Amino acid sequence: MMELPFNPPIQHINLPDFNANGVTVYIKRDDMLHPFVSGNKWRKLFYVLDDAQQKNSRHLVSFGGAFSNHLVALACAGAMYNFKTTGFVRGEEVNNHMLNLCKLYGMHLIFVSREAYKNKLDLYYEFAQQHVNTYFIDEGGKGELATKGCTHILDDADGFTHTICAVGTGTTLAGLAKGAQPKNIIAEGICVLKGAEAMNQEIAALAGFDIKVHHNFSCGGYAKTDSELLEFMQHFAQHTGILLDQVYTAKMMLALSKLIAGNYYPKKSKILAIHTGGLLGMMSVM
């Protein structure tokens, strides 16, 4: 049913920080997959929407914060593939460019308190009793089918020794690592949340093996920024023409530059960083 619009290119990063200590870095431009079904969100929805279709579900119901890339992706993909969409949004009613996009694509938004949001399944079951053919998609699209979608990120990537991506729920990393294993590519993740070490087990459960996640590069926690991160984003954009977002991909690339500077990678490593998209989030930072 769904098809990837095209397979995004792999580009060399021509910056001194990423060509130091004997390593070279490339970037997989999954941000170019689609402007609004961005990057890993398309990968994660791929088999989920297929499953919904096969089960004759016509109404996708999911969850997210007020700046959720996942909800925008779901709203847009729903519109493309003829699903109704409903998004439960955490917190009091607000307006922003991301939620406006959700609405433009026809998503029905329901704002719920942080307390109620904790029991997503309860919210879903109550909703499902009043609507027909609904289909539950977890926050951020996480889960096994989403992991499967992410195993394809490396389909056309050969000759790399390492790959790296940003970690929110870790679903993308689990799939990336599964795709990397048969190619003998080492996959690692940069966690963008603070104090989330417990997620390592969930990621291992999704992948079927342990994966290294770096937990010391969150810049203060989820969606937190500092001047170093914002300056890095600007530096990277100005010298490569590639935009990063402050929540995920800029933290990942900044962490990668620090790992390289600290001689973390063996000489001759050829590293593929995954640009997981999410650029809408960047529109609210500067």
Ligand X SMILES: *Cc1c(COP(=O)(O)O)cnc(C)c1O
- Residue ranges that bind ligand X, judged by CB under 6 A: 39-41, 69, 140, 142, 166-173, 245, 248-249, 276-278
Do residues 274 and 189 make contact, with C-beta atoms less than 8 angstroms apart? no
Residue number with CB closer to ligand X (246 or 257): 246
Nearest distance in Å: CB 69, ligand X: 4
Residue number with CB closer to ligand X (78 or 175): 175
Residue number with CB closer to ligand X (57 or 171): 171
Ordered DSSP codes for 234-269: HHHHHHHS----TTTHHHHHHHHHHHHHTT-SPTT-
**What φ, ψ does residue 186 adopt, rounded to 5°?**
-85, 125
Residue number with CB closer to ligand X (58 or 194): 194
* CA–CA separation, 13 and 153 (whole Å): 18
Residue number with CB closer to ligand X (123 or 165): 165
* CA–CA separation, 5 and 226 (whole Å): 35
Measured at CB, which residue is nearest to ligand X?
278
Do residues 217 and 251 make contact, with C-beta atoms less than 8 angstroms apart? yes
Nearest distance in Å: CB 71, ligand X: 11
Residue (of 170, 280, 235, 251) closest to 13 by Cα position: 235
Sort 240 into a burial class: Cβ within 10 Å, 0-12 / 13-18 / 19+: middle
Strand partners, 271: 25, 162
Helix H segments across 169-218? 171-180, 199-207
Nearest distance in Å: CB 252, ligand X: 8
Residue appearing with tokens 């088999």: 47
Nearest distance in Å: CB 265, ligand X: 21
* CA–CA separation, 77 and 241 (whole Å): 27
How many residues belong to the chain? 286
Nearest distance in Å: CB 213, ligand X: 10
Sign of the four-CA dihedral 38, 147, 52, 90: negative
Nearest distance in Å: CB 269, ligand X: 22
Residue number with CB closer to ligand X (23 or 173): 173
Nearest distance in Å: CB 180, ligand X: 15
Give me the amino acid identity at 273: A
Residue number with CB closer to ligand X (21 or 202): 202
